[in-house]
Amino acid sequence: MVPLEHILVFSAIMFAIGAYGVMARRNAVLVFMAVELMLNAVAINLVAFAARVDPQRFSGLVFTIFVITVAAAELGLGLAIVLRVYRMRTSVNVDEIDALRW
């Protein structure tokens, strides 16, 4: 049986890679992929905890199903918006999206 720590370290690394991707990637589609990576890390965490910490109930597993569903919906919505920006700008580079200035 894989120790819980290994799974947690794995998911933490995955989460960190995702977070790095969100900040470092300039292509909006890749940014969304990085967000997916973060959400998948969450799903791994939840499944691992459901098996080890909370074996009588399904809370973690149910949570995982919802996380996956919501992540899919979020990605769909995000790509729709990316598509519309692309039609107006012919670019999905988040650095060039500058009609709004801080």
Partner 1 sequence: MSFDVSRLDYGLVTPLLVLLGLVFLAWLLDLMLPERHKSAIGWVSVAGLVVCIATAVPLWGVRADFAGVIRIDEFSVFFTVLFLLTAIGIMLISMEYANRFLPQSGEYYGLVLAGTLGMILMGAANELLTAYLALELLSFSSYVLVSYAKTNLKSNEAGLKYIILGAFSSSLLLYGISLLYGTLGTTYLPDIARSVERLGVGQPAFGVGLSLILAGLGFKIAAVPFHMWTPDVYEGAPTPITAYLSVASKAAGFALVMRFLIGGLLPLRDQYQALFALLAVLTMTLGNLVAIQQRNVKRLLAYSSIAQAGYVLVGLAAITADVAIAQQAVRGMMLHLAGYVFTNLACFGAFIAFQNLNNGREMVADLAGLARRAPFVALTMMSGLFSLAGMPLFAGFVTKFYLFAAAARAELLWLVAIAVINSTISLYYYLLVVYQMYVRTPPGFEAAELDGHGHAVLATVSPAPSLAVAGAVPSLAAAPGGGTVSLSEGGPGTAAGTHNGYGRLGPDGHATHADAAIGHVPADTTGGHGLPGAHGDLGTHAGGPDVPWWRRSITGDMAPERMFPQYRIPFATTAGLTLFLAGIFFLGLWPAPAIDVLQAASQALFAG
CA atoms of 19 and 2, how far apart (whole Å): 25
Is 78 near partner 1 (CB under 8 A)? yes
Shortest distance, position 11 Cβ to partner 1, whole Å: 8
- Please report, as residue ranges, which positions from 39 to 68 form the binding site for partner 1 (by CB under 8 A): 39, 41-42, 45-46, 48-49, 53-54, 59-60, 62-63, 66-67
Is 22 near partner 1 (CB under 8 A)? yes
Q: Are 38 and 62 within 8 A, CB to CB?
A: no
Shortest distance, position 68 Cβ to partner 1, whole Å: 11
H-helix segments, 1-102: 4-24, 28-52, 59-89
